[in-house]
Structure 1
Amino acid sequence: MDILLIPGFWLDGSSWSAVTPALTAAGHTVHPLTLPGLESPDADRSGIGLRDHIDAVVQAVDNLDGPLVLVGHSGGGAIAYGVVDARPERIARTVYVDSGPMSDGGVINDQLPEVNGEIPLPDWQVFEAADLIGLTDDLRAMFRDRSIPEPAGVAYDPQQLSDERRWDVPATLIACEFPSVVLQQWVADGHPFVQELARIKDAEFVDLPTGHWPQFTRPADLGDAILAAVDRTGTGAP
């Protein structure tokens, strides 16, 4: 099966390199995506917004045949959900890695500081302690060295959804920073943060305790978790 891997902020497709071996060994075809403006630190990011990233992934979907799986990390989860809304009939499952589906009108993070239309990777002090679990000094240095400024519009633009068939697409949420029971309790309580998640008819929860970047802190385990979710799609052989 084709698996599209959507990175979170400040990262390109190579950020999935330690995650993919389990998927390719099982016979799947992986497509680690590099989104517009993230091609290099010198790339032109002017005018790039959330819809540009969603449209880029929609184009990748349209270039493939048959059902496929989307995997979105962090802000990439909102992008994945925009793609589900645009192509619900093509997506067999969406896997959210320390992320989730973002509601219509929601923004990924409009608190991140913009500098000339882009958002550089902030100092580590900006992040919560739970984000940084497992991110050793060496991993932090590696992450910062490979980081690419995020187009500000991707963080600030509102999500636009229109097709209720998106709620029929199965979802797997891989919870890292806090236990999945917290998410499930928010759903039960009707918390606005998870109102879109509550509408998904088939949502499963998987725990992978670590910080916000499991592709760096627990890549092999993340690969296995994604593979297990893909195997549960019920769409047949790879």
Structure 2
Amino acid sequence: MDILLIGGLWLDGSAWDDVVPELTRLGHRPVPLTLPGQGDGAVSATLDDQLAAVLAAVDAAPGKPLVVGHSAASTLAWMAGDARPEKVAKVALIGGFPAADGRAYADFFAIEGGVMPFPGWGPFEGPDAADLDQPARDRFAAAAVSVPEAVARGVVRLTDERRFDIPVVVVCPEFTPAQAKEWIAAGEIPELARATRVEYVDLDSGHWPMATRPGELARVLSEAANA
């Protein structure tokens, strides 16, 4: 199966470099995506531009792909399912949840000069970054790609209720499946509250398992694709 891999904020397709070989070995065709505004100098890139790039990858897949979104890009993966409910086999969300219709995509940190730069490690101290040693943190910060303002502040649009019937796998790295279920039950994640088929997978890592647990993450995604 084609497995489309969408990294979260500040990540391009290279974030999946350690996951891709294992997915290939397990018999899949991983497709790491580098989207408009991720290192190509297109600071004017919009959320619609990024969604269009994801949909182009969905449409290019020979069958129905598994669309994987990490962190904020969980919303982008969900938007792809909304736009192509008949084409997406399953959505996997790693360390993130889809924003609701009408909400900003990822307006979390300060905008400087038309982009949202990586804010440093302060906001991520604790479970998010506990398994990243200093060299890993330095590599991440050096490679981080500032997010165009029109992506971060882009408005999420969801229009097709068939999205709720797409199977969803919630991969829980720095939080537990029990916590995720509590948040959904409390109404904090309305999109998943309406999803009809949701599975949860615990993954003992921080927020960036593609960097710290790539083999385990690949196996989780392979099992999701095969189920």
The two structures have a TM-score, normalised by structure 1, of: 0.91
Match of 2:37 in 1: 37
Q: Deviation of residue 224 (structure 1)?
A: 1.0
1:130–1:177 contact (8 Å) kept in structure 2: yes
Matching of residue 119 in structure 1 with residue 120 in structure 2:
no
**Amino acid in structure 2 at the alignment position of 1:105:** G
C-alpha distance in structure 1 between counterparts of 2:189 and 2:97, whole Å: 8
Q: Which digits, 9 at most, give the CA deviation of each residue in 1:126-175, with x for residues without a partner?
A: 22422112011010011111111111222212210000000010000001
Q: Answer yes or no: is 1:132 the counterpart of 2:129.
A: yes
Secondary structure of 2:162's partner? helix
| Aligned match for 1:201, one of 185, 196, 200 | 196
Whole-angstrom CA distance in 1 between matches of 2:140 and 2:82: 31
Identity percentage of aligned residues? 40
Question: Whole-Å Cα distance in 2 between the matches of residues 130 and 27 of structure 1?
Answer: 32
User: Secondary structure of 1:153's partner?
Assistant: helix
Counterpart code for 1:117: G
Measure, in 1, the Cα distance between the counterparts of 2:183 and 2:8: 23
Retained in 2: the 8 A contact 1:177–1:211? yes
The residue aligned with 1:52 is 49
**CA–CA distance in structure 2, aligned partners of residues 17 and 186 of structure 1:** 31
Aligned counterparts of 1:71 and 1:202: Cα–Cα separation in 2: 16
How much does 1:109 deviate?
2.8
Q: Runs of 5+ in structure 1 lacking a partner?
A: 233-238
- Give the match for residue 15 of structure 2: 15
- What is the letter of the counterpart of residue 87 of structure 1? R
Asked if the contact 1:176/1:207 (under 8 Å) is kept, the reply is yes
SS at match of 1:130: coil
Q: Which amino acid aligns with 2:8?
A: G
Equivalent residues in 2 for 1:1-238, closer than 5 Å: 1-40=1-40, 43-46=41-44, 48-189=45-186, 191=187, 193-232=188-227
User: Please, what TM-score do these two structures have when normalized by structure 2?
Assistant: 0.96
State the number of aligned residues: 227
User: Where does the alignment leave 5 or more consecutive residues of structure 2 unmatched?
Assistant: none
CA contact (8 A) 2:93 2:168 kept: yes
**What amino acid does structure 1 have at the position aligned with 2:63?**
G
The amino acid that maps onto 1:210 is: S
The amino acid that maps onto 2:43 is: R
Whole-angstrom CA distance in 1 between matches of 2:108 and 2:87: 33
1:79 positional shift: 0.6
Give the letter for the 1:32 counterpart.
P
Which letter does structure 2 place at the counterpart of 1:199? Answer: R
Alpha-carbon shift at residue 65 of structure 1 (Å): 2.2
CA distance in 1, matches of 2:226, 2:2: 12
Question: Which consecutive aligned stretches of 4+ in structure 1 deviate over 6 angstroms post-superposition?
Answer: none
**Preserved contact between residue 85 and residue 165 of structure 1 (Cα < 8 Å):** yes
Structure 2 CA distance, aligned partners of 1:179 and 1:61? Answer: 30
1: CA distance between counterparts of 2:201 and 2:104?
Answer: 25
The offset of 1:209, in angstroms, is 2.1
State the Cα RMSD in Å: 1.3
108-117 or 170-179: which moved more?
108-117
